[in-house]
Amino acid sequence: MIQVVKADGTAEKELLASLRSRSGEVDKQVAGQVATIIEDVKQKGDAAVRDYTLRFDGHCPDLFEVDREVINDALSQADEEFVSSLLNAMENIAAFHQKQKQQSFIDAQPNGVILGQRIRGLARVGLYVPGGTAAYPSSVLMNCVPAKIAGVGEIIMVTPPRKDGTPNPDILVAAAIAGVDRVFLMGGAQAVAALAFGTESVPKVDKIVGPGNIYVATAKKLLYGVVDIDMIAGPSEILVMADETANPVYLAADMMSQAEHDVLASSILLTTSGRIANDTVAEIERQIKELSRAEIVRKSLETYGAVIVCRSIDEMVALANELAPEHLEVMLENPFEYIGKLDNAGSVFLGQYAPEPLGDYFAGPNHVLPTSGTARFFSPLGVDSFIKKSSYIYYTADALCQAKDDIVRIAECEQLTAHANSIKVRFS
């Protein structure tokens, strides 16, 4: 079912290269369709959103905005234990992200120069939340909580209607708990475009965050520059590093927990033990029979899964840094020993009792992570994702006089004589 390869310097490289094929360029046909939707929404506003909602979702509400009473009712009618679990998760998420908050600063120097940096939250952020078969209340918390901590002025959520035209109640519960300001019942590329340009109903936002299908991801990519976005998210992925001390039962379960997301999800095990490799494959076969999404899991593991038997832990570390996975589980005897060596990963899970779903739902660090190797240069979503910075400068006449010759010299080297003149006229 899942490929098993012994690392020899070549075989594992060829295997990993083939696995990367899942993260190709955006489908040109999809890009063309999305570009048309974006232009229609830009020109026609709500009318275009309504047309596409009817076409793709089968039902369009009379009013796009969900009434606040409907949101409050969803919260009051929700299962108390579910609400409690969301509140516990939100407490952990908030505690972690509070530590990321930066402060503005001012640097007053002895010569009268004053330099500084002002940090503030974005004015308005749009949050896309899938609401059909893939409805994720946890994503509402993960996107909304750091935005609130950053000081974002207003959070606008869009989520597609269900088949009967109503919102997903679990999504509304999470929105109420997290403090979403307004909720609009629309989805797909048309919702992303509505957030980017604004319509008669939907206010224009400064940034769009949140997961979605290929049409949503493509719309965000095409609209980057009109608005900011969190990242271009590809299929989900997990890389697990295991030595002889790891438990194959846990390894199999964790790999399949990621594989159930999508047939394009990737689950890879690196291990120094042939026994662990074989036992994990056997455990996958045993456990998969009990899973509700077994067909998706099997297809994902067959196409984009792998078990690679490495010659050393150092080789595993090197492969992990090369792959730069979204999720990295370190199932080694002394996992803390390797934190300083694992440079490229969205989120690292250490030890036998820190499985990836712990990060998805509860621990506190954000679950919006870079995929497809982009952890080499991207970071997880966080408070920094929702702020903007401005610097400011004040010089006295004496301080500028001391600096003028250097400034003029550099400006004239660049042949920007007007720049040089702006300095010279103050001392002529």
Residue 190 CA to residue 198 CA, distance in Å, equals: 11
| CA 11 to each of CA 8, 19, 308, 312: distance values in angstroms, whole numbers, following the listed order | 6, 13, 9, 16
**What's the maximum distance between 2 C-alpha atoms anywhere in the chain?**
85
pLDDT at 22: 62
Q: Which of 237, 260, 261, 327 is catalytic?
A: 327
Is 326 assigned a catalytic role? yes
- Give the confidence band of 133 by pLDDT, cuts at 50, 70, 90: low
Using the 8-state DSSP alphabet, how is residue 339 labeled? G
**What is the mean predicted confidence (pLDDT) over 377-387?**
96
pLDDT in tens, 189-232: 999 999 999 999 999 999 999 988 889 999 999 999 999 999 98
Q: What does DSSP say about strands 207-209 and 228-229: parallel, antiparallel, or unpaired?
A: parallel
**What is the mean predicted confidence (pLDDT) over 22-46?**
86
**pLDDT top residue among 359 and 212:** 359
pLDDT at 283: 97
**pLDDT top residue among 113 and 23:** 113
| CA 108 to each of CA 86, 257, 399: distance values in angstroms, whole numbers, following the listed order | 45, 53, 13
pLDDT at 163: 83
DSSP, collapsed to helix, strand or coil, labels residue 416 as coil
Alpha helices in 244-396, H assignment, sequence order: 248-259, 274-287, 294-304, 313-323, 356-361
pLDDT at 1: 78
- 237: β partners: 266
pLDDT at 15: 82
Q: What does DSSP say about strands 182-185 and 114-121: parallel, antiparallel, or unpaired?
A: unpaired
Predicted TM-score of the model (pTM): 0.93
Q: Which residue has the tokens 């959070």?
A: 155
Distance between terminal CA atoms of the chain? Answer: 81
DSSP, collapsed to helix, strand or coil, labels residue 135 as coil
Residue 139 CA neighbour count, 13 Å, CB half: 18
**What is the mean predicted confidence (pLDDT) over 412-428?**
97
pLDDT at 23: 55
Would the pLDDT of 26 be above 70? no
Is 315 assigned a catalytic role? no
Q: Which of 237, 283, 326, 356 is catalytic?
A: 326
Q: What angle do CA 147, 151, 157 make, to 5 degrees?
A: 40
**pLDDT top residue among 116 and 28:** 116
**What is the mean predicted confidence (pLDDT) over 46-69?**
91
Residue 83 CA to residue 46 CA, distance in Å, equals: 34
- Give the confidence band of 134 by pLDDT, cuts at 50, 70, 90: low
Residue 334 CA to residue 282 CA, distance in Å, equals: 26
- 390: β partners: 118
Length of the chain: 428
Question: What backbone torsions phi and psi does residue 115 show, to the nearest 5 degrees?
Answer: -120, 155
Q: Which residue has the tokens 């006089």?
A: 401
**What is the mean predicted confidence (pLDDT) over 238-251?**
97
**What is the mean predicted confidence (pLDDT) over 55-71?**
90
Nearest CA to 40 among 53, 27, 28?
53
In 110-263 the beta strands, taken as DSSP E runs, fall at 114-121, 124-128, 154-159, 182-185, 207-209, 228-229, 237-242
DSSP, collapsed to helix, strand or coil, labels residue 209 as strand
Question: What backbone torsions phi and psi does residue 329 show, to the nearest 5 degrees?
Answer: -100, 130
